[in-house]
A and B are shown apart, each in its own frame.
Chain A
Amino acid sequence: MCLFIPAIIRGLSLPVSFSLHSELLPTLITYLEAIREALAKALNDDPRVYIYGQDVGFFGGAFKATKGLSQRFPGRVIDSPISEDAMVGSAIGASIQGMRPIIEMQFADFSTVGFNQIVNQAATMFWRTGVACPITIRLPCGGTSGSGPFHSQSLEGIYSQYPGLVVLTPATVEDAYSMLLAAVECDDPVIFCEHKYLYYHLKADGLPNEALPIGKARITRAGRDATVVTYSAMLHECLAAAEELAGEGWEIEVIDLRSVKPLDTDTVLASVARTGRVLAVGEAWPWGGVTAEVLARIASEGFNLLDAPPMRLNAKDTPVPFHPNLWGTHRPTAKTIADALRSLLRL
């Protein structure tokens, strides 16, 4: 029996299984578990909080983000019908009546069915009426191998276009936890883009006690030759690329935006002032969006800081493909990012 366990762990390429070795090794926490812990803390600390979404109750959600929560918090983790419009609409109503709803979209892609309520009702409420609309909408976003065109989308750019929405894109376990708590505390509607690829792959030693505020970017890796601006799962591809280039003698600075709206232009410009070269990397489609916004700001506010034309790298301008061979080429990877950096450094 015992012989099989390490094989299973290796097969999944997980570093350590804390559940099997919890007595012996320090507990590691995944990105998904951090989200679950944040949800539990929000429910525990604030009676105004409830969770509403498809299969989130007894079943614990499609990704198990709410596993065990309906039992721990009876009546506050509620299965919804497959009605994204009504899920968000009802959250808006509940929020103006003093609640702090957390809506789980089963996949970010399905939030388009609730798009109208998000962008026209939630986003405009405070501006129109002076009454705040504190709702958190969790979007399991981004690609994973085999997920295909309708379970892989990255919609942060579209939501950021709308005034009144806050759009968060945590790239680390610690940020997934602390930014989700900040989202629930925020008085404005928050689109919380959690990356499905990171759910199980990303682990940390524990949960943080302090956090950077919403709207503040983090310099994850310092460097002086070029700046990479990125967010969400692409952070890890960019860090791998930076590591690769370090082997060639280049020092690449990597900025994790954390929040794409608001966007921390100051941190980005200060970095570009030091490096003179910038590459913006995103998993979303290339037309417009976060990377375009980053470059537009650099070009208009920091043109004189640049030693080379600013570059950006995004997914290809097609729907997200299903087959791993195609998917792996559709989005930026450490390799394509490293190649882009090499040409940026040659310019």
Chain B
Amino acid sequence: MLPTTPVPHPTSKASDFSETFRRAYRWMLLARLAEEKMASLYRAGKITGGVFLGKGQEAISVATGIALRDGDVFAPLIRDQAGRLAFGESLLDFTLTYMGARSGPMRGRDGNVHRGRPREGMLPMISHLGAMVSVVNGILMANRFQGRLGSVGAASLGEGATSTGAFHEALNQAAVEKLPLILVITNNQYSYSTPNSRQFACADLVDKAAGYGVSGHTVDGTDLADCLKLIGNAVECARAGGGPQLVIATSLRLVGHGEHDDSHYVSAHLREMPLGRDCLTVAESRILSESWADKVTLDSWHRDSLHQIEEAVAYSTREAAPDPAQEDWCAYSSRQLSEG
């Protein structure tokens, strides 16, 4: 059924860091190129609704997705294409949803970044920022009720979402219940157009961890190696019973809030700073400098990614759009309760 070949999962359970790094890099590359393709389709007027890219955040995102395993749950946000792929979402879920195909996981009922498969641990975000965190908490509480131990849940947020009541309630709830939650905040300096100075007043967002009584970690979000190590550790801590882990990753949003936004308000100064580096380029340099792969191999990964994306887009374009006449206009699982 799947017309694309996903990035190969490791054949052996490689504990080798370079192997993990390469794998993570390939997901990042696939995510970046897939999003670029979606942006060009958007500019060509082929996409209904908005397109939101994770450019500059692939490292922290992929590190989260890759650290999770079967039985874990992931609540990605708008900039998590890389993490979604690493967690196991197919590229087709991405293309079918963006293109509104009836055969996609959301069947045209919801779009773009709002896709998910709750039964498979991939939560479909609602727009309301912060709202997914307590849903992850609930899954973790259910795991405890059901004696399913050793599973964790990760949720992504931007720094802007730390100002919501939902963030506060959920992190406090996770702390009170000592849940294995990894809450990854990517501080990309802007929430839409709002700079950090208008978003929060603490010196460092990680200081919030102490207030909630949870472990706090910071990481350079532009450095894939650091992200893999830190998130890997945080996930293991949570898995081992260490309670919630708050991770603050620093980066810069390298695109507009969505493709409709030219991000003219982003300060040139920030772009020049280390946090303005492109994590994909940094990861690529690392691979070459460590000789974990040569240029020829990198090029073949690039070509392979493009090929997968082309196939997924071509397949999704051919898929039927939802048909209002065939649509089951019923919002109830108990059909007899629907008033139609």
A residues whose Cβ falls under 8 Å from a Cβ of B? 50, 76, 80-81, 83-99, 101, 113, 116-117, 120-121, 123-129, 131-134, 163-164, 166, 186-188, 214-215, 261-263
- Which of B124, B139, B334, B337 is within 8 Å of A93, CB to CB? B139
B residues whose Cβ falls under 8 Å from a Cβ of A? 105-106, 109-110, 114, 116-119, 124, 126-128, 131-143, 145-146, 165-166, 169-170, 172-173, 176, 330-334, 336-339
How many whole Å from B113's CB to the nearest CB in chain A?
Answer: 13
The B interface is mostly helix, strand or loop, or mixed, namely helix
- Which of A76, A83, A126 is within 8 Å of B173, CB to CB? A83
- Which of B139, B141, B332 is within 8 Å of A126, CB to CB? B332
In the complex the two chains form, what is the Cα distance from A85 to B135 in whole Å? 10
Please tell me if the beta carbons of A90 and B117 are within 8 angstroms of each other in the complex.
no
- Which of B106, B134, B142, B331 is within 8 Å of A117, CB to CB? B134
| Given A89-B133, A89-B134, A101-B138, 20 extra CB contacts under 8 A | A83-B169, A85-B170, A86-B137, A86-B169, A87-B134, A89-B132, A89-B138, A89-B170, A90-B137, A116-B128, A120-B131, A121-B131, A124-B331, A126-B333, A127-B331, A128-B106, A133-B333, A166-B334, A187-B333, A215-B337
Residues of A within 8 A of B137 (CB): 86, 89-90, 93
- Which of A84, A120, A128, A215 is within 8 Å of B109, CB to CB? A128
Please tell me if the beta carbons of A94 and B128 are within 8 angstroms of each other in the complex.
no
How many whole Å from A202's CB to the nearest CB in chain B?
Answer: 26
Please tell me if the beta carbons of A263 and B142 are within 8 angstroms of each other in the complex.
no
How many whole Å from A302's CB to the nearest CB in chain B?
Answer: 16
- Which of B119, B173, B331, B338 is within 8 Å of A81, CB to CB? B173
Please tell me if the beta carbons of B138 and A127 are within 8 angstroms of each other in the complex.
no
How many whole Å from A136's CB to the nearest CB in chain B?
Answer: 13
Residues of A within 8 A of B127 (CB): 120
Residues of B within 8 A of A129 (CB): 105-106, 116-118, 124
Knowing A123-B331, A128-B106, A131-B118, the reply to whether A166 touches B337 (Cβ < 8 A) is: yes
Please tell me if the beta carbons of A85 and B134 are within 8 angstroms of each other in the complex.
yes
Pair count A-B, CB < 8 A: 143
Residues of B within 8 A of A81 (CB): 169, 172-173, 176
CB-based closest 6 A-B pairs: A93-B138, A89-B134, A90-B138, A97-B142, A83-B169, A86-B169
For A125, give the chain B residue with the smallest CB separation: B118
- Which of B109, B131, B173, B176 is within 8 Å of A116, CB to CB? B131
How many whole Å from A113's CB to the nearest CB in chain B?
Answer: 8
How many whole Å from A276's CB to the nearest CB in chain B?
Answer: 25
In the complex the two chains form, what is the Cα distance from A95 to B118 in whole Å? 11
Please tell me if the beta carbons of B331 and A163 are within 8 angstroms of each other in the complex.
yes
Please tell me if the beta carbons of A96 and B126 are within 8 angstroms of each other in the complex.
no
Knowing A93-B137, A94-B141, A97-B143, the reply to whether A164 touches B131 (Cβ < 8 A) is: no
How many whole Å from A249's CB to the nearest CB in chain B?
Answer: 38
Please tell me if the beta carbons of B138 and A188 are within 8 angstroms of each other in the complex.
no
Residues of A within 8 A of B128 (CB): 116, 120-121
Please tell me if the beta carbons of A91 and B138 are within 8 angstroms of each other in the complex.
yes
Residues of B within 8 A of A92 (CB): 134-135, 138
Residues of A within 8 A of B106 (CB): 128-129
Please tell me if the beta carbons of A80 and B173 are within 8 angstroms of each other in the complex.
yes
How many whole Å from B311's CB to the nearest CB in chain A?
Answer: 26
Residues of B within 8 A of A90 (CB): 134-135, 137-138, 141, 173
Residues of B within 8 A of A95 (CB): 138
For B117, give the chain A residue with the smallest CB separation: A129
Please tell me if the beta carbons of A99 and B142 are within 8 angstroms of each other in the complex.
yes
Please tell me if the beta carbons of B139 and A86 are within 8 angstroms of each other in the complex.
no
Residues of B within 8 A of A101 (CB): 138
Please tell me if the beta carbons of A131 and B145 are within 8 angstroms of each other in the complex.
no
In the complex the two chains form, what is the Cα distance from A84 to B173 in whole Å? 11
CB-defined A-B contacts under 8 Å, sample of 14: A85-B170, A89-B133, A89-B135, A97-B139, A98-B146, A99-B142, A101-B138, A117-B134, A120-B131, A126-B333, A128-B106, A128-B110, A186-B337, A188-B333
For A265, give the chain B residue with the smallest CB separation: B339
In the complex the two chains form, what is the Cα distance from A131 to B331 in whole Å? 11
Please tell me if the beta carbons of A86 and B166 are within 8 angstroms of each other in the complex.
yes
Residues of B within 8 A of A123 (CB): 331
Please tell me if the beta carbons of B136 and A262 are within 8 angstroms of each other in the complex.
no
How many whole Å from B152's CB to the nearest CB in chain A?
Answer: 13
In the complex the two chains form, what is the Cα distance from A263 to B338 in whole Å? 10
In the complex the two chains form, what is the Cα distance from A89 to B170 in whole Å? 8
Residues of B within 8 A of A188 (CB): 332-334, 337
Please tell me if the beta carbons of B337 and A214 are within 8 angstroms of each other in the complex.
yes
In the complex the two chains form, what is the Cα distance from A183 to B124 in whole Å? 25
For A128, give the chain B residue with the smallest CB separation: B110
Residues of A within 8 A of B173 (CB): 80-81, 83, 86-87, 90
Residues of B within 8 A of A131 (CB): 118-119
Please tell me if the beta carbons of B172 and A86 are within 8 angstroms of each other in the complex.
yes
Knowing A81-B176, A188-B333, A262-B337, the reply to whether A98 touches B138 (Cβ < 8 A) is: no
How many whole Å from A126's CB to the nearest CB in chain B?
Answer: 5
For B135, give the chain A residue with the smallest CB separation: A93
Please tell me if the beta carbons of A96 and B139 are within 8 angstroms of each other in the complex.
yes
Knowing A96-B118, A97-B138, A121-B131, the reply to whether A85 touches B333 (Cβ < 8 A) is: no
How many whole Å from B128's CB to the nearest CB in chain A?
Answer: 5
* Max chain B C-beta neighbours (<10 A), residue from A89, A95, A131, A163: A89
Please tell me if the beta carbons of B337 and A85 are within 8 angstroms of each other in the complex.
no
- Which of B119, B132, B166, B338 is within 8 Å of A262, CB to CB? B338
In the complex the two chains form, what is the Cα distance from A186 to B137 in whole Å? 23
Residues of A within 8 A of B170 (CB): 83, 85-86, 89
How many whole Å from B46's CB to the nearest CB in chain A?
Answer: 23
